[in-house]
Structure 1
Amino acid sequence: MRDTLLAADLQPRSELIVPEHPVLRAKYPAIDAHNHLPVDHPRMQEADIAHLVGEMDLLNVQAIVNLSGGTGETLQRNLDGLDHAYPGRFVTFCNVDWTGVGSPGWTERAVTALRQDIAVGARGIKVFKSLGLTVRDTAGQLVMPDDPRLADIWAAAGALGVPVLIHSADPVAFFRPLDRFNERWDELQRRPEWSFYGPEFPAFEELIASLYRLIEAHPETAFITAHVGCYPENLAFVSEMMDRYPNMVTDFSARIAELGRAPYSARDWFLTYADRIVFGTDATPLVPMYQTHFRFLETKDEYFDYAPGAAIPPQGRWRIYGLYLPDDVLQKVYHDNAAALLKLA
C-alpha cells in the first residue's frame, strides 16, 4: 500500500449511483452564440464543414456564431467560407484591430473599418480579453475597455444596430497566486499563460469595473457579456449588473462547470433573466460537448461530468448538476434571444 499520493496523480472514480438521462438533441433549435471558427486557422483548414453541418442537424443546432472573423480581407474569407457557403448555418462577427491604438486618426480609422465590416456582412463585434490585459497604446500603456479613445467604436455599433460581445478578465482564480489554494491549479499547470497574477496585469476587480463602466456609458449599444457577465463565480453581482443595465445580455459559454456546481442559484438566475441569456459553448463543436450542455440545461441529473472523458476535470475538480429548465425558458435561451439579437429567423 502506498503511503503517499501526489495530488496531481489523484483521479478518484465516483461510486455514486443516480439516474442518468443523456440528451442527444437540443429540445429546441439551438443557436451557439459563442464559438470560434476562423477559416485561416490550420484546425479549420483541415475541418470538414459539410460534416459539421450534418452533425449540427443531428444535434438540432440551427446556427453557430463565429466570433473570430477578423476584419477586412480576413473577414471576407470567413464570410465566404462559412456564412455564404452555408446560408443560415453560420454567423460571423468582426474584430477590432488594435494595432496603433492611440496614434492620430486611429479611432476614426477603426470606426470606418467597423462600418465596412458590417456593410459586407458581419453581424456584430467580438472583443477579446486582450483588451485590458495585453493591448497597449503607442505609448506602451494598457488600454482598458472603458478607455475614452474607444468610445466612438461602441457608439458606432449602437448606431449600426449590431451587438458587441465582449470578454473581459477571466476566471477569478487566474488572478490569484498559483498555490495550493487555487481551485484552477490543474488548468493553470497545463496552461501557465492563462495566469494573470502579478504586477504586470490589472486586478480582476479593476477589469470588471472597467467593463461595467463601458456598458453604463453606452446605453444605446447592446452588449453581450461573455461567460456569465465575465464573473460566473458571483451570480448575485451579475444579477445586480443585469438589473442596472438593460442593454446587457450574457452568454454562459465555457461556464457550465461554474453554474453547475451552484445549481439552485443558477436555476433561479436562468428563470429570472430568461429573456437575456443566450446559449453558447466557446468549445470545439463536437457532439459529446453539445450533448453535455443539453443535459445540463434540460435534465435534473446529479453529479455528472461537465467534460466527459477528461481524466481530470479541466476547469476544476468537481462535477455538476442539471437545471431542468422549463420549456419556455429553454426556447428563449436556446434560440429566441440570440435570434432577436442577430436578426435571425
Structure 2
Amino acid sequence: MRALRNLALATTALLLVGAAPAPDVYGEADFARVRKFDAHVHANVADPAFVRLAATDGFELLSINVDYPDFPPVAEQARIAYAMHAADPKRFHFATTFSMDGFGAPGWAARAEKQIDAGLAQGAVAVKVWKNIGMVAKDAAGKRVFLDDPRFDPVIAQLEARRVPLIAHQGEPKNCWLPLDEMTTDNDRSYFSEHPEYYMYRHPEEPSYEQLMAVRDRFVARHPRLAFDGAHMASLEWSVDELARFLDRFPTAMVDLAARMSQVQAQSNANHAKVRAFFVKYQDRLMYGTDLTDSPPDPHARAQNPPATGDFIREADTVWRSDWRYLATPLSQHVDAIKADTPGLALPRGVVDKIYYVNARRFFRLNG
C-alpha cells in the first residue's frame, strides 16, 4: 500500500513539474474570445453589420451622439441609436447629448434637460459634451462659452442626481497648436489640414491649449460627485506623465483612449518601460475606445481619425486587431501614423481585462 501511495505522489509531482504555467499575457489568438468594450464609437447609420462584427470580435459598443457638423443632425443620430439599442440592448449602448443652440437665452437649461431626459428614457447610459464648448459655441450675447460656465450647473446637477456619467471632449491634441511639420503623428496632420476651423495654430486669437485644459480642470474640481470621463485621454495624449498628474489630482475621473493610440505608441517607442508602467499603475482608470465612425457615404467627407477608407467593417476590424496587438501582446507592428515599427506593451491579462471591459462596465453602470 505504501509503495502504491509513493508511486501516486511521484506521478503527481511529475505532472505538476511538467505542466506549463498559464501565460500572464494574451496572444493574438485570444483576441476574439476575450470580452471587450469599445467605449467610444459613432454609429451614424442604422447598419446591423457593425454590431455583427462586434459580436464576432468579442465587443460591446458605446455609440456616442455628438453635436458635430460633419455628422448627421443630433435628432437623426438619436433615432439611429434608439433603434440599434432596441435591436441588441446587451451589445449596443449609447450616450446622448444636447444642443448648444440658444445657450444663455431663457429656457436653454430646461430644453437641454429635456433632451437628456429623452435619451435616458430610451436607454442612454451617459451624456456627451463636445469640443465646440470652449472652441466654437457662443452664448446669446456672442461671447465664447466654456465648460466651467455656471450656466451649465443645472444640467450638471441633473446628471449628478441621477448618477449619469459625463463624457467630455475638451480641447484637442496638443498637436492642434503646432505647425504641421512639428506634429507628432500623421493622423493629426491629416485631420487638421482638412478641418482648418479647428486647427488652432492658424487661429492664435482663439483660446490656448493651456487655457482649455485649465477650464476642464476647474470644471472637474467644481463637480466632485460627477462621474467624469475625459474623452481622448483628456487631451493629454502627448504625455503619460501629464495624464498621470490629472488622474492623481482627480481620483474619480476616468479617461478613454479613443483616437489617441498613435500618440501613446510614439511615447512607448521612446520609453517602453515608462508607458507600460503607466498602464499598469492606472489600470482602473483607463477605458479602451477607438472613435470608429460609421457614417453615410459622402464623396466630399473630410478626413476622420481613425482614417476612413470607405470599407467601414474592414476598418473597424483592422483597428481593433491592431490595438489588441499593441496593448495585449509583445508583438511589433508598423504604425503608419508615426512611420515606425512599434513593439506591443504586453500588458498583464488582468490589466487588459480591466482596460478592455471591466472599467467601462463599471463606469457606465452596466453591471447591475
Residue 251 (str. 1) matches residue 280 (str. 2): no
Given candidates 189, 193, 202, the residue that maps to 2:193 is: 189
Tell me, yes or no, if structure 1 residue 100 matches structure 2 residue 102. Answer: yes
> Which residue is 2:227 aligned to?
222
| Root mean square deviation, CA, Å | 2.3
Equivalent residue letter for 2:175: A
Match of 2:111 in 1: 109
User: What displacement does 1:58 show?
Assistant: 2.3
Among residues 271, 274, 280, which one is paired with 1:271 in the alignment? 280
Note the 1:38-49 alignment, pairs <5 A.
Answer: 38=44, 44=45, 47=47, 49=48
Counterpart-to-counterpart distance in 1, 2:118 and 2:328: 40
Percentage of matched positions with identical amino acids: 28
After superposition, the Cα gap between the structure-2 partners of 1:73 and 1:28, relative to the gap in structure 1 and judged at 3 Å, is same
Match of 1:6 in 2: none
* 1:108 Cα deviation after fit: 3.0
Output the CA distance in 1 between the equivalents of 2:184 and 2:219.
30
Pick which of 184-193 and 98-107 moved more.
184-193
Aligned length: 307
Report which of the two structures shows the higher radius of gyration computed on alpha carbons: 2
Q: What SS does structure 2 have at the residue aligned with 1:84?
A: helix
Q: What residue is the counterpart of 1:8 in the other structure?
A: none
User: Which range moves more in the overlay, 83-92 or 22-31?
Assistant: 22-31
User: How far 1:173 sits from its partner (Å)?
Assistant: 1.4
The answer (yes or no) to whether the contact 2:32–2:56 under 8 Å persists in 1 is no
Task: Return the alpha-carbon distance in structure 2 between the equivalents of residues 182 and 256 of structure 1.
Answer: 15
Q: Which runs of 5+ in 2 are unaligned?
A: 1-26, 68-72, 294-312
Deviation at 1:153, TM superposition (A): 1.6
Letter in 2 for 1:121: G
Aligned residue type for 1:297: L
Tell me the CA shift for residue 283 of structure 1: 1.8
After superposition, give the CA deviation of every residue in 1:61-114 in whole Å (9 maximum; x if it has no partner). Answer: 1x1111017799546513432100112111111112100001123123322332
Distance 1:29 1:288 in 2: 17
Match of residue 321, structure 1, among 313, 321, 343: 343
Q: Would you tell me which structure has more helix in proportion to its own residues? A: 2
Q: For the residues of structure 2 that align with 1:80 and 1:155, how far apart are their CA atoms?
A: 25
For residues 277-329 of structure 1, give each alpha carbon's deviation from its aligned partner in whole angstroms, at most 9, with x where no partner exists.
Answer: 11111124621111001101111123x233xxxxxx34x44443311010111
Q: CA deviation at 1:26?
A: 4.7
1:305 equivalent in alignment to 2:334? yes
Q: Which of 26, 29, 36 is residue 30 of structure 1 equivalent to?
A: 36
In structure 2, the partner of 1:152 is 154
Q: Hey, which bits of structure 1, 4+ residues long, moved more than 4 A? A: 21-24, 69-76
Choose from 239, 244, 249 the match for 2:244. 239
Could you tell me which runs of 5 or more consecutive residues in structure 1 were left unpaired when the two chains were aligned. 1-20, 39-43, 307-312
1:250-275: per-residue Cα shift (whole Å, max 9, x none)? 11111111111222322111111111
| CA distance, structure 2, for counterparts of residue 91 and residue 68 of structure 1 | 11
Tell whether the 8 Å contact from 1:68 to 1:92 is kept in structure 2 after alignment: yes
The reply to whether residue 56 of structure 1 matches residue 86 of structure 2 is: no
Q: Is the 8 A contact 1:23 1:294 kept in 2?
A: no
Query: Which piece of structure 1 moves more, 151-160 or 97-106?
Result: 151-160
| CA shift in 2, pair 1:26/1:244, >3 Å | farther
Q: Displacement of 1:240 after TM fit?
A: 1.2
Contact conserved, 1:305 with 1:320, CA < 8 A, in 2?
yes
In the alignment, residue 260 of structure 2 is paired with which amino acid?
R
Whichever residue aligns with residue 328 of structure 1, its letter is G
Other-structure match for 2:70: none
CA distance in 2 between partners of 1:173 and 1:76 (Å) = 31
1:336 — aligned with what? 358
Task: Please state how far the C-alpha of 1:191 moved relative to its aligned partner.
Answer: 4.4
Judge conservation of contact 1:298–1:324 (CA < 8 Å) in 2. Answer: yes
2: CA distance between counterparts of 1:107 and 1:202? Answer: 25
Question: Which has the larger displacement, 187-196 or 207-216?
Answer: 187-196
The Cα shift of 1:242 comes to: 0.9
Structure 1 residues 193 and 161: CA distance shift in structure 2, 3 A: same
**Alignment CA distance shift 1:22-1:125 (3 Å):** same
| Separation in 2, partners of 1:321, 1:252 | 18
CA distance in 2: counterparts of 1:72 and 1:167, whole angstroms: 16
Query: Which residue type is aligned with residue 34 of structure 1?
Result: H
TM (normalized to structure 1)? 0.82
Partner Cα distance (1:26, 1:208) in 2: 37
SS across alignment from 2:292: coil
| C-alpha distance in structure 1 between counterparts of 2:261 and 2:29, whole Å | 16
1:191-212 alpha-carbon deviations (Å, 9 max, x no partner): 4444122234210111111111
Q: How does 1:203-218 map to 2 (within 5 A)?
A: 203-218=208-223
Indicate whether 1:137 and 2:136 are aligned: no
| Paired residues of 1:26 and 1:294 also in contact (CA < 8 A) | no
- What CA distance in whole angstroms lies between the structure 1 residues aligned with 2:342 and 2:258? 15
Report if aligned partners of 1:30, 1:60 keep a CA contact under 8 Å in 2.
yes
Equivalent residue, structure 1, for 2:173: 171
